[in-house]
Amino acid sequence: MSNLPGTTEPSQLRDRIQRLGLFGLLASWSELAEQPWLPQLVAIEERERKRRSLERRLLNARIGAFKPIADFDWTWPSKIDREAVEELLTLRFIDEGSNAVLVGPNGLGKTMLLRNLAHQSTLQGHTVRFTTASDMLADLAAQESSVALSRRLRRYTQPRLLCVDEVGYLSYSGRYADLLFEVVTRRYDDSRSILLSTNKKFAEWAEVFPHAACTVTLIDRLIHRAEIIDLEGESYRLKEAKERAANKSSARRTKRKTA
DSSP codes joined into one string, 218-237: HHHHHHTTEEEEE-BS--HH
- Mean pLDDT computed over 88-115: 96
Q: Per-residue confidence at 253, pLDDT binned at 50, 70, 90?
A: confident
Instruction: Judge whether residue 231 has pLDDT over 60.
Output: yes
62 phi-psi bin (left φ>0, alpha ψ -120 to 50, beta other): left
Instruction: Judge whether residue 84 has pLDDT over 90.
Output: yes
Which DSSP helix (H) or strand (E) runs through 197?
strand 193-198
pLDDT in tens, 32-68: 888 899 999 999 888 888 888 889 989 999 999 999 9
Instruction: Judge whether residue 259 has pLDDT over 70.
Output: no
Residue spans of the domains in the chain: they are 10-52, 69-237
Question: What is the predicted pLDDT for the residue at 7?
Answer: 55
pTM, entire model: 0.81
Q: What is the torsional sign of CA 89, 90, 95, 99?
A: negative
Q: Cα(234)–Cα(109) distance, rounded to whole angstroms?
A: 11
Instruction: Judge whether residue 31 has pLDDT over 50.
Output: yes
Question: What is the predicted pLDDT for the residue at 168?
Answer: 92
Q: Cα(79)–Cα(81) distance, rounded to whole angstroms?
A: 7
Helix (H, G, I), strand (E, B) or coil at 103: strand
Please list the alpha-helical segments (H only) found in the chain.
10-20, 23-27, 29-32, 38-61, 82-88, 92-96, 110-123, 133-141, 146-157, 174-189, 205-208, 215-223, 236-258
Q: Name the residue type at position 216.
A: V
Question: What is the predicted pLDDT for the residue at 60?
Answer: 92
Question: What is the predicted pLDDT for the residue at 1?
Answer: 38
Q: Cα(64)–Cα(58) distance, rounded to whole angstroms?
A: 9
Strands 226-230, 161-167: pairing is: unpaired
Phi/psi of residue 106, nearest 5 degrees: -65, 150
- Put the strands of the sheet holding 161-167 in their side by side order: 128-132, 161-167, 193-198, 99-103, 226-230
Instruction: Judge whether residue 2 has pLDDT over 50.
Output: no
CATH number of 69-237: 3.40.50.300
Is residue 156 within 8 A of residue 129, CB to CB? The reply is yes
Which of 9-23, 41-55, 99-113 is the most confident on average?
99-113
Helix (H, G, I), strand (E, B) or coil at 61: helix
Torsion of CA 74, 77, 79, 81, to 10 degrees: -30
Instruction: Judge whether residue 257 has pLDDT over 80.
Output: no
Instruction: Judge whether residue 185 has pLDDT over 70.
Output: yes
Per DSSP, 98 falls in state -
